[in-house]
Amino acid sequence: MAVHSRSLLTAALIAGATVAPADIIDWKTVDGWDISFYPGSAGCQAFALFEENTAFFIGYDSTENQLSLDVTILDESWASIEDGTEYPIKLRFGDESAWTLNMDGVRLDGYPGLNIMIDATSAEARLFIEEFQHERSMEWRYQKTVLGRYTLSGSRKAFDEVIACQRSYTQAMTSDADPFAASPASDSDSDSDPFSQ
C-alpha cells in the first residue's frame, strides 16, 4: 500500500523532527501545506500536521497502473485501529453533505490511521477534490464520535500544487530524460528536470 512510503516522514513530523527522509522530494510549501513527491507511491501529495498530532495526506498514487486519489489521516491516539480492517467514516467538508468512506485501517511506524484510494478519473474523486479545495473546514466522524475538525485554509493552492507536481512527474517520466538528474535548469528550458530546483 502506498501509505508506507510516507511512514518515515509521518513519524518524524509527529515526533517533532525536522528532517525528511532522502527519498521524498520536496516540491513546494504553500500556506502550511507541504507538497512533495513520494517515490513509493509514484505520486505527489499535500501534507498537513494538525493540532493533537493528526497527520493528513491527500494526493496521488500511481503504483497500481492507474492514478488514484490517495487520502490518509493518522493520529497516535487511535490506538485501537487494526491494520487492514475496514472502517465506515463520515467526512464533511464545510456545510456540504457528508461522505461515507469505507477506509482501511493502517499502521505506519506504529502510528494508527485510515486510508482510502479513489479512482482519480472518477466523478467521485473530482467532487472530493472540489469540496476539499473550496470549503474552509473538514470534520471526521466514526460512529457517534467526532475524530476531529480541521481547517482547510490554503487547501485550494495546496492541491493546485499537487496537480502541478504530478503533471511534472508524469511529463518527465514519459520523456527520455532522467527526471531526477541534478542538471542545471533555466526559466527558458521547459524540458528541464522539475525536481532539480
Classify each residue of 11-48 as buried b or exposed e, where b means 16 or more C-beta atoms within 10 Å of its C-beta: bebbeeeeebeeebbebbebeebbbbbbebbbbbbbbb
Grid coordinates representing 78?
A: 487511535
> Looking at the domain that runs over 2-174, which CATH code has it been given?
2.60.40.1880
User: pLDDT band at residue 174, thresholds of 50, 70 and 90?
Assistant: confident
Q: CA 68 → CA 58, 77, 147, 165, distances in Å?
A: 11, 28, 25, 15
| Nearest CA-CA partner of 76 in 50, 40, 38 | 50
Provide the pLDDT confidence category of residue 177 given band limits of 50, 70 and 90: low
Grid coordinates of 54: 493528526
pLDDT at residue number 35: 97
User: What one-character DSSP code corresponds to residue 177?
Assistant: S
Q: What is the pLDDT of residues 129-138, one digit of tens each?
A: 999 999 999 9
Based on DSSP, count helices (H) and strands (E) in the chain, helices before strands. 3, 10
Domain coordinates of the chain in residue numbers? 2-174
